[in-house]
Structure 1
């Protein structure tokens, strides 16, 4: 039972931490982000398993984490407003070539982040070529070019 409670606590802590960190944490992984992810995974593993390194203990943790994820999926499906609270909503960052700086600041997204996405996804090189740039709830920036 202790392992199940640990798994639930770690899951909730990670959901909260990544919610606070914002979608920018999911946008682009740098080498620093990879190192941080590895350290977090090691700390999480120790917190989940404690001193129990058995296959049974690991299986119990994995099952608990998957059940928690399924539970959050059900909550998002049946509880109005839960999707916005848990995953967030899309945010328009550029409209008709104009940066919406207040929204960019709120989302911690720079003009360079937008332009990298515009170049990679659409081959666009200037803000004037962008009709909309939208920060999606998964952390990716969608670019809709001007016609």
Structure 2
């Protein structure tokens, strides 16, 4: 039972940490981010398993994490507003070629982040050609060009 409680606790801690870190952490992964992710995974593994390195213990931990993830999926599906609370809502960063600086600051997204996405996804090289830039729940920036 201790391993199940450990798994649930670590899942919740990681969810809160990545919620605080924001979607920008998902947007671009630098070499520092990769190193940090590896360190987090090692620390998480030690916290999850404790002194029990058995196959049974690892299997129980994995099953618990998957079940908790499924439960969160069900909560998001059936409880109104839970998805916005857990995953966040899409955020409009550019409207009619104008930067919405307050929303950009809240989301920790820079002008350069928006323009990289515009160039890569739509071939747009100026802000004036962007109708909307939207930070999606998954951390990607969707660009809708002006007609």
TM-score by length of 1: 0.99
Report the equivalent of 1:13.
13
The alpha-carbon deviation at position 128 of structure 1 amounts to 0.7
Residues of 1 paired with 2:121 and 2:39: CA distance? 31
Does residue 1:45 correspond to 2:45, yes or no?
A: yes
Does residue 1:126 correspond to 2:126, yes or no?
A: yes
Report the equivalent of 1:136.
136
The alpha-carbon deviation at position 105 of structure 1 amounts to 0.3
TM-score by length of 2: 0.99
Pairs aligned (count):
147
Cα RMSD, aligned residues only: 0.6
* Bigger mean CA deviation after superposition, 76-85 or 63-72: 76-85
Residues of 2 paired with 1:63 and 1:20: CA distance? 26
Structure 2 gaps, min length 5: none
Report the equivalent of 1:35.
35
Residues of 2 paired with 1:29 and 1:8: CA distance? 26
Residues of 1 paired with 2:9 and 2:136: CA distance? 27
